[in-house]
């Protein structure tokens, strides 16, 4: 006959259904946190890339204006 002490020893030795549920929940939480951090990092990189793109567009406009001003200055009156 199995006694309460035997059941207690078995629970300490083997994984129970509740232990597995807790482990799965903790693992799921860790995955969700890691994905959140990954997407935050990705969002920051994309935002930075967009800022760089805007700066490149502005630099092209400035270069264009400088060229046009240079052409106007070079024209004889």
Q: Is the dihedral of CA 43, 48, 52, 58 positive or negative?
A: positive
pLDDT for position 1: 87
Domain assignment present for residue 34? The answer is: no
Token readout for 49 is: 């890339």
Domain that holds residue 59: 50-77
Domain assignment present for residue 72? The answer is: yes
* Between residues 75 and 33, the one the model is more confident about: 33
Number of domains within the chain: 1
Domain assignment present for residue 57? The answer is: yes
pLDDT for position 76: 80
* Between residues 50 and 68, the one the model is more confident about: 68
Hunting for tokens 């629970």 — which residue is that?
Answer: 11
Per residue in 39-64, pLDDT (tens digit) is 888 887 777 766 677 788 889 999 99
Q: Report the half-sphere exposure of 1 (CA within 13 A, side-chain side).
A: 2
pLDDT at 25 over 90: yes
């Amino acid at each position: 006959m199995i006694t309460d002490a035997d059941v207690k020893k078995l629970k300490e030795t083997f994984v129970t259904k509740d232990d597995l549920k807790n482990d799965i929940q903790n693992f799921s939480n860790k995955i969700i946190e890691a994905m959140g951090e990954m997407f935050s990092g990705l969002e920051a990189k994309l935002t930075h890339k967009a800022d760089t793109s805007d700066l490149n567009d502005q630099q092209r406009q400035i270069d264009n204006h400088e060229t046009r001003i240079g052409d106007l200055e070079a024209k004889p009156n």
